[in-house]
Amino acid sequence: MSSRLEKKVLETVGVFEALKQQGRYETGQLFLHNVFGYRGIVLFPWHARLYDRDIALTTTESSPEPPGVQSFKELSQKTHAYYQVLIDARDCPYISQRAQTEAVTFLARHDDNKGFYAIPGLDYVCHEDILPYSSTDCVPIKHHLFERFLQFNSSNVPPFIPTDVLQAWQKTTNQWLELSDVHRETTEKIRVTVIPFYMGMREQDTQIHWWRYSIRLENMGDEVVRLRERHWRIFSISGTLETVRGRGVVGQEPVLTKEQPAFQYSSHVSLQAPSGHMWGTFTFQRASGAMFEVVIPSFSLDSHGHRDSPYSFLC
């Protein structure tokens, strides 16, 4: 073992708690991320509709629809707990190659020169991502918003309660932060999970509607694979169908291994209409050089009647 490794000391962060098999975690719950390993704290929970194609494929006959446009009503739908969380800034450098730490974005104001702005260190995690723990530290998470969002209260379980700032921010941004649908499908042991978010509408020469979508790629097998290409089809209710093909995703061609099985990123799409849907494929390469296609499950782009985007007082 090198002298550099011999000098490393593991830091005690707290005491693990029992996993919640029923119910959900509440605001202030400390956790380790089960996939990416970072320290975090729950800001507030969401209830999402999970459309799981893996269950649908094993319980229903194959759909007559072409790939990517399977009717949602034919899918297995269940309500699932997801959480808005803060990431500990100390862990961001170690996960930035596998999960974006500035992935939660908003449309800026119409009079702002920026197209988007991000609040660093925010993430969405599913219930199974959370390994809960407790700590006696009054400020266990290092993040510039921690003390604005949460305050220590020894009589509460967990001992962190939302501040007025967090409650106001949640109310102000709720309709742009809240996730409603989650889509999941596995091909060749590569699971793709997609979560779309409506961001708002911009008046330019025409009305432009914007969405953010978060994608997690997970290698459920033992084989090492690399993502090489993406191929999207984007349908607008106005009648247009756009095809997008390119190398990798967000400038990367991530490798998924048994030791580091997941990669998570966010991107954006715009339509000159209030709704549409997207679907497509990722092209992966095996260690042997052979290529194979992985399905991106079809997901709706809905505006839900929202018209304007927020400009957070936190940015």
Report the distance separating Cα 133 and Cα 300, nearest Å.
36
Interatomic CA distance for residues 53 and 169, integer angstroms: 34
Q: Is 241 exposed, middle or buried (0-12, 13-18, 19+ CB in 10 A)?
A: exposed
User: What are residue 81's DSSP bridge partners?
Assistant: 47
65 contacts 80 by C-beta, under 8 angstroms: no
Q: Locate the DSSP E strands across the chain.
A: 15-16, 30-33, 39-52, 76-87, 105-107, 116-118, 122-126, 130-134, 150-152, 160-162, 181-187, 190-203, 207-219, 225-236, 241-247, 255-256, 262-271, 275-286, 291-302
Residues 6+ positions from 303 with CB-CB distance below 8 Å: 198, 201, 209, 274, 275
Distance (Å, whole) CA 3 – CA 242: 55
Mean pLDDT of the chain: 88
What is residue 108's predicted lDDT score, i.e. its pLDDT? 81
Q: Is residue 120 part of a domain?
A: yes
SS3 159: coil
Residue 61 counted as domain residue: yes
Residue 177: inside a domain = yes
Which residues, in sequence order, are bridge partners of residue 116?
A: 107
Structural domain including 157 reads 13-302
**Is the pTM above the cut of 0.85?**
yes
pLDDT of 57-85, one tens digit each? 555 444 444 444 445 445 556 889 999 99
User: How many independent structural domains does the chain possess?
Assistant: 1
Report the length, in residues, of the chain: 315
- Residue 313 domain-assigned (yes or no): no
Do the strands 190-203 and 181-187 form a parallel or antiparallel pair, or are they unpaired?
A: antiparallel
Taking 80 as the threshold, does the pLDDT of residue 6 lie above it? no
Place of tokens 């967090």: 166
Looking at residue 68, its pLDDT comes to 45
CATH code assigned at 33 = 2.60.40.1470
Instruction: Tally Cβ neighbours within 10 Å of residue 22.
Output: 4
Segment 80-94 mean pLDDT: 96
Mean of pLDDT values over 129-137: 95
Res. 4 pLDDT band, cuts 50 70 90: very low
Question: Does residue 224 belong to any structural domain of this protein?
Answer: yes
Mean pLDDT across 90-104: 93
Contacts of 19 (CB under 8 A, 6+ apart): 130, 131, 132
Smallest CA-to-CA distance from 122 within 103, 139, 106 is with 103
For residue 236, what pLDDT is reported? 95
Does 5 score more than 80 pLDDT? no
More confident residue, 118 or 224: 224
Compute the CA torsion angle 23, 27, 29, 31 (nearest 10 deg): 90
Residue 153 lies in a domain: yes
Q: Residue 234 carries which DSSP code?
A: E
Share of the chain above pLDDT 70, in %: 85
Residue 6 lies in a domain: no
Q: Does residue 160 or residue 178 have the better pLDDT? A: 160
* DSSP run (H or E) holding 56: helix 53-59
Give the pLDDT of residue 205.
Answer: 77
- Give a yes or no: residue 56 inside a domain: yes
Q: How far apart are CA 168 and CA 60, in angstroms?
A: 44
